[in-house]
Amino acid sequence: MVNFTFFDMADAVLENLIGPVFILLIKFLMDPTKTPVIDMSAIIFMTCCDFNTHSLCPYTLNFYFPPFDSMLKPAVSHALHHALNIGHYTIFPLHQLKGIFQYDNRSKTNIDGSLEHDWKTYNRVFKTNFPEGR
């Protein structure tokens, strides 16, 4: 989480308010007779996910649910987002699941997404040697 301190505070606040405000707006539009609410635990989970996604450690837990944390590595994907400035925009990297395609800028084609592909790219970009797929 120390890496998060390098962010502009106004950017961090705006980035973390867009989602909840959008959800409240949708809930209001669905039923204007009720006051829309969001559970505070959802806000805390979203904020922790955002902080942890910016971790320098690629193995950082994000979901606090072992099956999800073993299948998806948001810190890997988001580090690539900052390093490459191309792709990897989402906090939850669903493209790391087999069967979900993503556009590859190097080959200019859609490729079957996988965690292994992100690890290979991560190791190449950051000159590391983490085991791919773990």
Task: Identify the pLDDT of residue 88.
Answer: 81
Residue 12 has pLDDT above 80, yes or no: no
- Single-letter amino acid, residue 123: N
pLDDT of residue 3: 56
What does the pLDDT look like over 73-131, one tens digit per residue?
999 999 998 898 877 877 788 888 888 888 877 788 888 888 888 999 999 999 999 88
* Nearest partner of 45 among 19, 67, 25, 76, judged by Cα: 19
- Per-residue confidence (pLDDT) for residue 133, from 0 to 100: 56
Choose among 40, 37, 48: nearest CA to 91: 48
Rounded mean pLDDT, 38-53? 86
Distance CA(134)–CA(112), nearest Å, equals 18
Domain ranges of the chain: 2-126
pTM: 0.75
Sign of CA dihedral 57, 91, 49, 64: negative
pLDDT of residue 85: 81
